[in-house]
A = this chain, B = another copy of it.
Amino acid sequence: MASSLGKIFVVTSYGESHGKCIGVVIDGCPAGLEVNETDVQYEINRRKPAAEAGATARKEEDKIEILSGLFNGITTGAPISMLVRNKDVKSVEYEKTRFVPRPGHADYTSFIKYRGFNDYRGGGRFSGRITVGFVMAGAVAKLLLKKAGMEILTHTVQIGNIKSKNTSINKIRKNAEGNLVRCADIETSHKMAKAIQTAKEEGDSLGGIIEALALNVPVGLGEPVFDTLEGEIAKAIFAIPAVKGIEFGTGFKSVEKKGSENNDPFDIEDNRIITTSNNAGGILGGISNGMPIVVRVAIKPTPSISKTQKSIEMQRLTKANLSIKGRHDACIVPRAVPVVESMVAIVLADFALRAGIFTGVIK
């Protein structure tokens, strides 16, 4: 396993779905940053299942514990260790299907890679629950970015085949957190919620697309040729289970444009260099250009569904049918919004530290 991410702001993840806890160690955070437990808890709460909209029925208190790295509520420069205990764990059901891998899950690949020693309960290390650790780290990263005026807005732009209308930054800031599916376009949000409800009733699931916008990112973040801003964000995002695609700016659609349409013209505004469009999604040559960074992430439909599926028995190599019981989200997209936001924040924090932009910012 490789459970550490980042070069200067280094996030180390541990924990399993049905183990004692999910934890994270954040190394390299500068000294002098105020971190309130409530700031971190707020983000963890954002990740919790909502009361509706097809989210999992698993109930967890998810109360964070900060074990190290803070002194009187301020970072000391030492690694920050945080964890959340797992409480509401029912593992018995997983025993029955231990050797029958769930389609679309890591059950088969982890069984082979770890020679049967993997903790299979609830997906173990491959459960979406491990993203609790990502969100704790992201909460700290966001506090750090805030010191330099950066902000990340994240919202759901598509659920199944229901697409959000183009929305302004203000609308996203105002509306996205106010509805169950985290869509900034309120009318569409209702349709999305309904579609999720329908999928749930059918024992099926839906995927979607999440968009993150990073605002006020200074020019110069990113370390080409290999540690590009896109590349590191992508690597971090693919650590989220169920992600199958990522694009920046106009992304896959830029393919159908001509160069003369896709190039963003430069201009001067308030004595600053800007571009008058943002097809590049705020990144040129792997380096931030000062415009909003725009990332879109494709989340596949949740593989855990109650409909009967075809699988096999891995030890006997025989066919087997599988119907997944347990508690599962019919659509994880809304809950993945703060997770995507966290990964973007973690990567930006790392690049900001590599570029030395906090020198003198944090006193």
CB–CB B75/A225 < 8 A: no
CB–CB A78/B1 < 8 A: yes
A286-344 contacts to B (CB < 8 Å): 286-289, 298-305, 307, 309-312, 314, 317-319
CB–CB A311/B265 < 8 A: yes
Sampled A-B contacts (28; CB under 8 Å)? A2-B28, A3-B225, A14-B67, A14-B81, A15-B67, A15-B68, A16-B68, A19-B68, A20-B68, A71-B117, A76-B117, A78-B119, A78-B125, A103-B263, A103-B266, A104-B262, A106-B284, A106-B287, A109-B220, A130-B225, A206-B259, A231-B236, A231-B239, A234-B235, A244-B248, A245-B254, A259-B302, A262-B300
CA distance A21 to B67 in the complex (A): 7
A178 at the interface (CB under 8 A from B): no
Chain B nearest CB, measured from A109 CB (Å): 4
Range for the number of chain A residues in contact with chain B: 35 or more
Q: Identify the stretch in A38-46, A179-187, A271-279 within 8 Å (CB) of chain B at 4 or more residues.
A: A271-279
Given A1-B77, A231-B236, 8 more pairs with CB closer than 8 A: A3-B78, A109-B222, A109-B284, A161-B256, A207-B254, A228-B235, A235-B235, A268-B317
Q: Identify the stretch in A5-13, A56-64, A147-155, A166-174 within 8 Å (CB) of chain B at 4 or more residues.
A: A5-13
A138 at the interface (CB under 8 A from B): no
Specify which chain B residues have a CB less than 8 angstroms from the CB of A247 in the assembled complex. Answer: 244-247, 252, 298
CB–CB A13/B259 < 8 A: no
A89 at the interface (CB under 8 A from B): no
Chain B nearest CB, measured from A221 CB (Å): 9
Query: 5 shortest A-B CB distances, which residue pairs?
Result: A106-B285, A245-B247, A205-B259, A231-B238, A2-B227
Per-position contact with B for A112-126: 1 when CB-CB < 8 Å, else 0? 111101110000111
CB–CB B1/A223 < 8 A: yes
CB–CB B284/A108 < 8 A: yes
A4 at the interface (CB under 8 A from B): yes
A27 at the interface (CB under 8 A from B): yes
A31 at the interface (CB under 8 A from B): yes
Chain B residue nearest in CB terms to A265: B310
CA distance A273 to B100 in the complex (A): 12
Specify which chain B residues have a CB less than 8 angstroms from the CB of A1 in the assembled complex. Answer: 27-28, 77-79, 223-225
CA distance A228 to B115 in the complex (A): 18
Specify which chain B residues have a CB less than 8 angstroms from the CB of A16 in the assembled complex. Answer: 68, 71, 76, 78
CA distance A205 to B354 in the complex (A): 35
A16-30 contacts to B (CB < 8 Å): 16, 19-21, 23, 25, 27-28
